Structure 1
């Protein structure tokens, strides 16, 4: 049922109603994640930015324990208090240290409820925070030394069902490397960038329809422009794979999420400031504006792509490519 909730139903499932998919990806990734959460080990979803790690973690938490909000965001400023507990200073002064004056972390709340706690961007947190997670994952309890031993409140035990889903950005490797001890307490599930055009088209189309419904926008997205967007990202990924150094690659990860962001930007611009119809020119402008983050490196890469790939294709294929080329050139000229 968890798998059905995440991936949606098929005819072979024999359900009396259809369950729409909420996450698009390989079925084996979801099944491995579910099996891990049924064990005593934590789950670590690792991959490039924009591959849907956080969304999958949120869906798994919601499906299993009906709560996906017990989350800690890992940063350089995250401390042990964020994963254990802190104190309400006013109540401590008035009534002393007790469970009433304690502020439990989302992880401690998950332990007490037998639910799933989420830890976003684990490799961005310091080694002290990572070390504190080791005892939580292995011993399944948190000691509260400030409390009286006789009260029985000095140890918080995890109820059955407690687990942790962590995410890590593979591009952040080396920020704060995970220790071998912490790695052993996680099962790793690597989420790759979607490169299958059919799967990627389904994801982009699904998110676009969701965007149009959410903003109550009635705007047609021609399939030909969707093909142009998909092909552009495929071309840029091929170029990045062949690049000899980081200076020859776009800073963007060129993920499906960024592809959706480009299309969303183009749709909103067309709706509010355009002709209420998506055009190749607007799409090209959004592509350049979203992906060219470094000046002049990224602008030079985008310019090279337009002249070396898009220009010959616009002459050979025609269609929306000539207008796409013109819009991209105008966007680069504006940013230069």
Structure 2
């Protein structure tokens, strides 16, 4: 790996105590190494060339002949990653849209970390998000004592990104009301924010390298649809639900092992149990697709992220209250406990699924499926 300065090492050591490190801290050594060997052209003030950003996301290949292997961090179609990177080098913003749990926020964070070494300029969209959170607000105490000035102005994460020429992120854009969404239009098109309260120095212009990554939940369409004017300022990149079992397994293993490292231990996940989890979710999705009403579907999105949550819950339960090794019955209890959210609808849906699909697989494939079947029945018995 490329050497890092003592200042960087000190910063990295300090951030080891953070519960969840930003991508630019977590993958500091990889980013520094890629920057040290990067000979490609860089748009604006980018830290890495588009080719190296792609390598950071998808991992290195033998043909690149790198001294240090770069592990993949995002598992998906390379065309999606390339379109996202190219969009951020253009004049348009990037909108990642897809079902919950398809990795939109993770991809946005990795892109921002690789491009500008800072993924923390984030606005979280909610029904209560205001225009001030997108543009700027004021330090009330300073305004009362000395009036409105540059010193009393509090820039939003998006304004800070504009001033620094970095990437601003906007999570769950469609959760915000239409008037709040429209505050982005002038930022994306004109690349500046006016501050009419100030008499001078009252315009903040975006520096080269500024762009915006927004995410939107495709299940939220109709909540607060984007206006046509705002849609024109974005390139849409649709994030598909992962259905390839090999790819899904890689994602689950990667993310679960990372989560376990937070707890200070490593875990070996039995391949047969992981297959049971992945197959169960595949069967649940098939049942959901064939259902004729919402009452016959689980409220959960049945995404890869849900599987990671189920597996993490089961591993921790086994670690603290079991025999340390992951067991089929505990995995089943975690799955039922995670997916049942509505009472009694979800209980009815998963009960029917368990006594039909899971019971059939238990009879046909036996092995881990028998204990998995029994663990699920016991879990449902507790929540009826």
The interval holding the TM-score normalised by the smaller chain is: over 0.9
* Aligned counterpart for 2:163 among listed residues 106, 112, 122: 112
Taking the aligned partners of 1:315 and 1:46, their CA distance within structure 2 comes to 40
- In the alignment, structure 1 residue 261 sits paired with structure 2 residue 312: no
TM-score (norm 2): 0.85
Q: Which residue of 2 aligns with 1:142?
A: 193
Q: Which runs of 4+ in 1 moved over 3 A?
A: none
**C-alpha deviation, 1:218, in angstroms:** 4.7
SS in 2 for 1:188: strand
Taking the aligned partners of 2:119 and 2:261, their CA distance within structure 1 comes to 24
Taking the aligned partners of 1:15 and 1:179, their CA distance within structure 2 comes to 45
Q: Unaligned stretches of 5+ in structure 1? A: none
Q: Which residue of 1 aligns with 2:148?
A: 97
Q: Which residue of 1 aligns with 2:366?
A: 318
Alpha carbons 1:219, 1:276 under 8 Å: kept: no
- In the alignment, structure 1 residue 42 sits paired with structure 2 residue 93: yes
Taking the aligned partners of 1:313 and 1:171, their CA distance within structure 2 comes to 31
Bigger relative contact order, structure 1 or 2 (CA pairs below 8 A, ≥6 apart): 1
Q: C-alpha offsets along residues 88-129 of structure 1, whole Å, 9 cap, x if unaligned?
A: 111112222111110000111111111110000000111111
Taking the aligned partners of 1:162 and 1:211, their CA distance within structure 2 comes to 31
Q: Which residue of 1 aligns with 2:28?
A: none
- In the alignment, structure 1 residue 181 sits paired with structure 2 residue 212: no
Q: Which residue of 2 aligns with 1:30?
A: 81
**C-alpha deviation, 1:212, in angstroms:** 2.8
Q: Pick which of 86-95 and 58-67 moved more.
A: 86-95
**C-alpha deviation, 1:219, in angstroms:** 4.0
Where do 1:1-336 residues align within 5 Å?
A: 1-148=52-199, 151=200, 153-336=201-384
Taking the aligned partners of 2:236 and 2:64, their CA distance within structure 1 comes to 28
Q: Unaligned stretches of 5+ in structure 2? A: 1-51
Number of equivalences:
333
Taking the aligned partners of 1:82 and 1:244, their CA distance within structure 2 comes to 41
Q: C-alpha offsets along residues 253-303 of structure 1, whole Å, 9 cap, x if unaligned?
A: 000000000000000000011111110000000010000111111111111
Taking the aligned partners of 2:164 and 2:274, their CA distance within structure 1 comes to 45
Alpha carbons 1:7, 1:24 under 8 Å: kept: yes
Alpha carbons 1:219, 1:271 under 8 Å: kept: no
**In 2 relative to 1, CA 63–249 (structure 1 residues): closer, same or farther, beyond 3 Å?**
same
TM-score (norm 1): 0.97
